Structures are given as structure tokens and as C-alpha cells.
Amino acid sequence: MLDCTPDKPLTEGAHTTGKINPIKTCQPVGAMYAALGIHGCLPHSHGSQGCCSYHRMALSRHFHEPAMASTSSFTEGASVFGGAANLKTSIKNVFAIYDPEIIAVHTTCLSETIGDDIPTIIKQSEIPEGRYVIHANTPSYHGSHVTGFSNMCKGIVSYLAESDGGEKKERANIFPGFVNPGDMREIRRIVTEMGVPSIMYPDTTGVMDSPMRKTYEMYPRGGATIAEIKESGNSKLTLSLGAWSSDEAAATLQAKCGVPGVPLRIPIGVRATDDLIMAVKEGFGVDVPESLEVERGQVIDTLIDTHFQYEGKTVAVFGDPDILVPLTEFLITMGMIPKYVVTGTPGNKFEKTVNGMLEEAGIEGSRVKAEGDLFDLHQWIKEEPVDLLIGNTHGKYIARAEDIPLVRVGFPVFDRAVHPLMPIVGYRGCLRLIEMISNALLERRDRDSLDEDYELIL
């Protein structure tokens, strides 16, 4: 397994070009996922049909759900003469055949490179009364799938959010970041538990974790409605979760409708969840209910009860920056040593933020990298191994090659069941992470132990 990866560390500068086993993919898949978080929305991929096919495939494999989206189906002609005709025809056909409330167009490398002017094309298109077409520019040669998610979130705000100029309502907007529907449900529950009404978007709950009913619904009952999104301009504040995935949308909403954004981390781990709760408490002057205090207490209790199972263990973490930042912080809280922290998404602030946390915790000798890949990570692990890997499904090859347990967190997780429905955010998410990490390490210990060391009682 991955036997072609050299045993000895490469000399500095041996692998500097391109990506080998990437930890990122391209913008449109993020844009498509964000668009699916609007109720009645059909995402539309403006480019050749392979992109749309690949993105639907990736989303369906991760969520085990339909991921409907249409495409402009470019052939060579459109690539030469421009894709305006294809997009106009698409918009007309999509409304006529699939009857969505809104079409969310995103671009591909192809339409970006030929320079199609999407807003102008949309203006020239036939859009039925009361229906919407919005767009985001998502060239794949910039950023990552996280950037695409962020760009579509920003597009949703720019096109739809409105302020009536009146007094702001005692209500929170939640921009949940690039997380699973299970996480979105949990974030919303926490805010609701505190007695604060909220509007969340994108909201893929009910869409990418939709229940089995008797009939197929092309537009499942979940997602944020257009009315809700419009109304978000009248909310008192926006909880913007995840700097990479949500901050631009929050800044746009602040500029457009005067709703202040509170930048927060995605609430993974005790501290980041505490921060979310404090932001709601302070923003709305509400008390923290006993139910959340109980949940928090359970996490602290569990950390104390189980610390010896993982404390001092080294861990390599890889994935999206908005997940990695709070996750690394939680691993530090658990007493673990994040030895390697790698994201594929570009951006210097990632390294600065994570290095800052490590420094504060007095952890030395760790490697932190933005725009990295799994080949880098594998090389480092060969040089100095770790006890545990945390990241997406693609880590399973390194896990097997180096015989290290893998806890699956992030996007995509193709090869495990139920994953997108179960949250890793909030205090309940803390318990789940502790459960996954502890059990992975205990399983390994059981597997490796001699007969005489095989234990029954912990």
C-alpha cells in the first residue's frame, strides 16, 4: 500500500510542484454544496458536463444522498464562442422542466478561462416571475472547495438578503460553515436551546440527510427558504462560524444590511463551543440554560475520566482549515500532541493560527502546513510516526501503510456509514470525538496486546 512512497525523507525541495495526493479539491463542489442548502434550489454548473458529474458524485458518495444539479454541457463550440447561449438555454430549460424556486449558477475553470460574464448573461435570461437566478465565480485554479463554499455563501447574501431599514429583530443569523447536516442541526439546537430564534444558511439539513418518505421529492423539505434568507438582513447579528467558509458572507451582509457579524470558530471542542454560547449570551442578553451546563459538565467529566487513554499521544490531523483550527485546539485540551497539522487550502493565516495555539500550549517540534498534501504528510510520518491520524477517507492508505488508526473527520468521508448525520460540534460533538478517538486507540491496544496483557476492565 503506497509502497512507492520513499522510505527515507526527501531532500528539501524535492517535491515543490503540484500536489501528490491532495487534501483539497476545487471550488465548484463547495459552491454546489452551499447551494443545496437553499430550499427549492437547483445548483447549476456552468461549464462542460464532467465537472457537474464529478461534483454530484463526490457529494453523493459523502452524504449518501441525491445531489441534484444541472449543467451547461459545453462542447468545443461553446468553449470557442463563449457559453452565453448555453447558460441562457439552460436557465430556460431548467425552469421549464425542473421548476426550481431558484437556480444557483457557479462557474468552472472552463467558463472562467473563456471569461463568460455571468451577471450579464443572467440579466439577459428568461426568468419566470418570482423565481431567482444567483451566481458565484468559482474558478478551480484559485483556493479550494472551501473557497467555493464561501463564494457561494457570499453570492447568496449579495443576491437575496435585504434590509427593510427598520429596527433589527432579536434573532441570530447562523452561517454554519462547511460542515455536515448533522453539525448544522446541532448548532441550531444550541442556539434554540438558549431561547434565541435564528435563520441559518446555507442549511443542508433535510436536504443532504433527508428522510425516506414514500415518494421522491426533487426539492426535499429542508434548506433555508428564500424568504428566510431575505429576512436575514433584518436580524440583530450574524454568528459567522469558520473564518474561511463564512466570514466573507458575514462581511457582505454587514455591509449590505448593517447586520454585525460575530466571527467565531466552528464550535468543535469545549472552548469553541463556549465561545459560541458566550456570543449568544452577550449578543442577546440571555442566560445559559441548565441543559447546556449539564452537557458541558458531562464533557469535562468524560475528559477527566478518560484522559489516560489518549493524553500524551501524538496525532496527525489534516483537512479543511475551519475544522482543523478548533479540532487542533480540542486535541490540545485533551492533552494530545498535534504533531502534524496540514490543510490543502491556501492561506498563511492557517499556519499562524495553529502555530500560535501550539506555542501557547508549550508544544514544540510540530509541523503545520497550509497548501500541503498527503504525500508531504506521509513522508513526515515515515520520518517520525504518530499514534493516531485524524482526517478524511483519503487518509486510510497512509493509515494502512504505516499501521496507524484513523479517525474519520471532515470532507469527504466516503467509506463509513451514518457519518454526515452525527455531529462533531457542540458539547455533544465533543463526546463523540472523545468516543471515536478513545475507542480507536483502545482497539489498537487490544489488537496489539499479548494474551496475558489482554484486559477486560478499563
Partner 1 sequence: MTTDLNVDELLAPLPDKVRKNRSKHIVKKDPSGGSCPQIEANTRTVPGIITQRGCSYAGCKGVVVGPIKDMLTITHGPIGCAYYSWGTRRNKARADERTPPEQIYTAMCFSTDMQESDIVFGGEKKLAKMIDEAVEIFHPRAINICATCPIGLIGDDLSAVAKAAQERHGIPVIHYNCEGYKGVSQSAGHHIANNQIMERIIGTGTEKVDGKYVLNILGEYNIGGDTWEIERILGEIGYTVGSTLTGDSAYAKIKNMHRAHLNLVQCHRSINYIAEMMETKYGIPWLKVNFIGIDATIDTLREIARCFGDEDLIARTEHVIERELAAVTPEIERCRKVLKGRTAFAFVGGSRSHHYQFLLRNLGMEVVVAGYEFAHRDDYEGREVIPTIKSDADSKNIPELHVEPDPEEYRPPHLHLKMSKEKYDELAASGILNDYKGMYPDMVDGGIMIDDANHFETEELVEIFKPDLIFTGIKDKYVTHKMGLPSKQIHSYDYSGPYTCFRGAVTFAKDVAHSLSTPAWKMITPPWEQSGTGGD
> Which residues, including other chains, have CB under 8 Å from residue 123's CB and lie 6 or more apart?
none
End-to-end CA distance of the chain: 34
Contact 429, 357 (CB under 8 A): no
Amino acid in the structure at residue 456: L
Nearer to partner 1, 70 or 180 (CB): 70
Apex 120 CA angle, 119 and 124, nearest 5 = 115
- Find the largest Cα–Cα distance for the chain: 77
Q: Quote the least distance from Cβ 56 to partner 1, whole Å.
A: 5
Instruction: Report the C-alpha gap between 179 and 241 in whole angstroms.
Output: 10
Nearer to partner 1, 54 or 284 (CB): 54
Nearer to partner 1, 213 or 362 (CB): 213
Q: Quote the least distance from Cβ 192 to partner 1, whole Å.
A: 25
Nearer to partner 1, 75 or 120 (CB): 75
For the record, the C-alpha cell of 156 comes out as: 447568496
Chain-centroid distance of CA 428 in Å reads 18
Contact 171, 158 (CB under 8 A): no
Nearer to partner 1, 142 or 281 (CB): 142
Instruction: Report the C-alpha gap between 40 and 207 in whole angstroms.
Output: 10
> What is the CB neighbour count within 10 angstroms for residue 164?
10
For the record, the C-alpha cell of 350 comes out as: 492557517
Q: Is 348 exposed, middle or buried (0-12, 13-18, 19+ CB in 10 A)?
A: exposed
Using the structure block, give the residue that is written with the C-alpha cell 449539564.
294
Q: Quote the least distance from Cβ 82 to partner 1, whole Å.
A: 12
Nearer to partner 1, 16 or 348 (CB): 16
For the record, the C-alpha cell of 92 comes out as: 430556460
Instruction: Report the C-alpha gap between 335 and 270 in whole angstroms.
Output: 13
Amino acid in the structure at residue 261: G
Q: Quote the least distance from Cβ 272 to partner 1, whole Å.
A: 28
Instruction: Report the C-alpha gap between 82 and 98 in whole angstroms.
Output: 25
Q: Quote the least distance from Cβ 120 to partner 1, whole Å.
A: 17
Nearer to partner 1, 142 or 256 (CB): 142
Nearer to partner 1, 235 or 343 (CB): 343
Nearer to partner 1, 233 or 372 (CB): 372
Rounded to 10°, the helix 270-284/290-310 angle is 160
Query: By three-state DSSP, how is residue 273 classified?
Result: helix
> Which residues, including other chains, have CB under 8 Å from residue 17's CB and lie 6 or more apart?
none
Instruction: Report the C-alpha gap between 367 and 338 in whole angstroms.
Output: 9
Q: Quote the least distance from Cβ 24 to partner 1, whole Å.
A: 6
Q: Quote the least distance from Cβ 182 to partner 1, whole Å.
A: 17
Instruction: Report the C-alpha gap between 180 and 204 in whole angstroms.
Output: 8
> What is the CB neighbour count within 10 angstroms for residue 453?
9
Closest by CA position to 390, among listed 408, 376, 411, 417: 408
Q: Quote the least distance from Cβ 274 to partner 1, whole Å.
A: 35
Nearer to partner 1, 61 or 230 (CB): 61
Nearer to partner 1, 93 or 192 (CB): 93
Q: Quote the least distance from Cβ 416 to partner 1, whole Å.
A: 12
